[in-house]
Structure 1
């Protein structure tokens, strides 16, 4: 067990934005919220999966909605903690540990902020290993665990308790509420004992995010920071380019869009694109898919090396687009069915990025 420092928060915000695959919320917002809550309520302890006891109850905290909305509609204190406290009342038990729903710039840090207010530790894990746009896209769902009760809250104090029949209905109902709550809300969806959590999450997520943040924050230690990042995450460079057009639309509680990119350097004269639904879904050269969900696709600023989220992509951005393999749990049959390209409307089967890049062992 260790206490998270403000420097840890800075590094987690950077690394989580890489792992967020273009989504998971804005890191600056998450960083400010987490630091404020730690300064106000005290430090948060990070515990490993090995330290988690079988009878300790673990509850996720997450933001739901369109990331562009969260740039202006910041979560309030009660929004961060009302969902978890509502589930405590519904189950008649106290939560012992908070877990991030996903790894992303905002959604890795708001759980830390909520944990600070509640005086609870946070688990060094998450339920995705990246960020995904829909609520059923959790490793709990892949392991047959379905949410029995779900709580959704807004910044005003409105809170709803839902009893969905499965994770898909959790997504449908909570998304509708999120839209009515102004396009963003907070949710807590599971109330599980440690014995059920172990083996059903992605371990070490926050530590990995911190290590990535440290790498990008100390670029002078590396001959090439991009190569160092690719080595750390077993990733692949897809292309360098300049964003020459972005279409973006907020609807049904999501950001949908596409960034058109002209190749630079050795990719000059070639046309590329990234398509996203909150998170980056596919990277293409022309009409050819170079990488797709559930693998991670990230745009990195060519000058700074820092990740550029989908809501921050704009005309003139110069980016290096890279891809990393997803957690193996997403490469199972149910994982691909839940979050593969066909789920998002692409008429193609999932192919691992290493195979698409011709570098499969």
Structure 2
């Protein structure tokens, strides 16, 4: 057990934006929300998965919606805790521990703000090990856990309760309501016991995010060294260095969807691209895949090594694109069915990034 302070938040924001693969919300917004909550309510106790009690009531609180929306439509304090309080009212029990649903710019930090306001600990884990765009794309769904009831709120004070039959219906129903709420909402689902979380979570992800953030922030003046050190830590790969020459991005169905195009620079020749839906899903050189979802793809600023989210990518930026293997739970048959390339409409088969890079001679 240890405490998360304002200094911790700065590091987690950077690391979570890397692991968030371009999505999970804007890290700057998430950082502001979490630091303000800690300043107002005090540091947050971070506990390990091993410290969870078997009968602890563990609940995730997350933001749903297009990352582009959250840049202008900031979270309100009522929106932070309203879904959690509604969940407690429904099930007649007080929550013991908060868990992030994913690792991403806002969705790693918003739960810390909730924990600060409610005086609760947060567990060093999540249910993705990265960020994904849809509500059923969590390891809790893979484990067969029930997501119902789902509670939601917006910044105006509206709350809603849904009783979906499974995670897929939770996504469909909550996404429609999120659009009506202005494109973003806060959500609580999957109220679980400590024993259930231990079986299905991705461990130590807040600590990993903090470590990545520390590496990159310390080495902003020597980005190549910082990136190489991070890749060594995460067993990752440098896919290419390039200049953004075009980006097509738009809001559709409550998501930020798009296609970024790069011209290779330095030691990298040719044309590269990334397809994204909130998060980066496929990186390619020409028509050849370099990394495929559910493995992680991150875009970093070439000069500083700091991550760039999908909504912050812009024409002319010089970047380094890197990739990391996903958590092994996503490499199961059900995992690939849930978050593999064909689910998103891409006519390619999933191949682990290490196999692709071995074939291409990457490092």
When the two structures are superposed, what TM-score results if normalisation uses the length of structure 1?
0.98
SS at match of 1:16: helix
- State the alpha-carbon separation in 1 of the partners of residues 335 and 127 from structure 2: 13
Q: Report if the CA contact (8 A) 1:60-1:190 is conserved.
A: yes
Q: Does 1:296 pair with 2:296? A: yes
| Bigger Cα displacement from structure 2, 216-225 vs 67-76 | 216-225
Number of the residue aligned with 2:109: 109
Q: Does 1:184 pair with 2:187? A: no
Number of the residue aligned with 1:6: 6
Cα distance change of structure 1 residues 211 and 256 upon mapping to structure 2, 3 Å threshold: same
- State the alpha-carbon separation in 2 of the partners of residues 335 and 241 from structure 1: 31
Deviation per CA, 1:293-323, whole angstroms, max 9, x where unpaired?
Answer: 0000011100000011000000011101111
Q: Report if the CA contact (8 A) 1:222-1:228 is conserved.
A: no
Number of the residue aligned with 2:358: 358
Runs of 4+ with deviation above 6 angstroms: 220-223
SS at match of 2:50: coil
SS at match of 1:267: coil
- State the alpha-carbon separation in 2 of the partners of residues 293 and 222 from structure 1: 26
Q: Report if the CA contact (8 A) 2:49-2:123 is conserved.
A: yes
How big is the shift at 1:358? 1.6
How big is the shift at 1:148? 2.0
Deviation per CA, 1:239-272, whole angstroms, max 9, x where unpaired?
Answer: 100001111111111000011100001113x000
Number of the residue aligned with 1:94: 94
CA RMSD of aligned residues (A): 1.2
- State the alpha-carbon separation in 2 of the partners of residues 147 and 157 from structure 1: 23
- State the alpha-carbon separation in 2 of the partners of residues 294 and 221 from structure 1: 30
Number of the residue aligned with 1:234: 235
- State the alpha-carbon separation in 2 of the partners of residues 222 and 113 from structure 1: 30
Count of residues in Structure 1 that have an aligned counterpart in Structure 2: 359
Spell out the pairing of 1:111-130 with structure 2 (5 A cutoff). 111-130=111-130
Deviation per CA, 1:205-252, whole angstroms, max 9, x where unpaired?
Answer: 100000000111111799722211111110111110000111111111
Number of the residue aligned with 1:75: 75
Number of the residue aligned with 1:259: 260
Q: Report if the CA contact (8 A) 1:15-1:211 is conserved.
A: yes
Spell out the pairing of 1:301-312 with structure 2 (5 A cutoff). 301-312=301-312
- State the alpha-carbon separation in 2 of the partners of residues 55 and 246 from structure 1: 48
Number of the residue aligned with 2:145: 145
When the two structures are superposed, what TM-score results if normalisation uses the length of structure 2?
0.97
Number of the residue aligned with 1:323: 323
Deviation per CA, 1:52-106, whole angstroms, max 9, x where unpaired?
Answer: 1011100001000000000010111111111111111111111000000100011
Deviation per CA, 1:148-189, whole angstroms, max 9, x where unpaired?
Answer: 200111000001000000000000000000000000000001
How big is the shift at 1:43? 1.4
Deviation per CA, 1:104-154, whole angstroms, max 9, x where unpaired?
Answer: 011100000011111111010001100000000000011111212001110
How big is the shift at 1:347? 1.2
SS at match of 2:274: strand
- State the alpha-carbon separation in 2 of the partners of residues 16 and 323 from structure 1: 14
SS at match of 1:337: helix
Cα distance change of structure 1 residues 82 and 215 upon mapping to structure 2, 3 Å threshold: same
Number of the residue aligned with 2:31: 31
Unaligned runs of 5+ in 2: none
Number of the residue aligned with 1:286: 286
- State the alpha-carbon separation in 2 of the partners of residues 193 and 321 from structure 1: 38
- State the alpha-carbon separation in 2 of the partners of residues 317 and 202 from structure 1: 33
Q: Report if the CA contact (8 A) 2:223-2:304 is conserved.
A: no
Q: Does 1:61 pair with 2:51? A: no
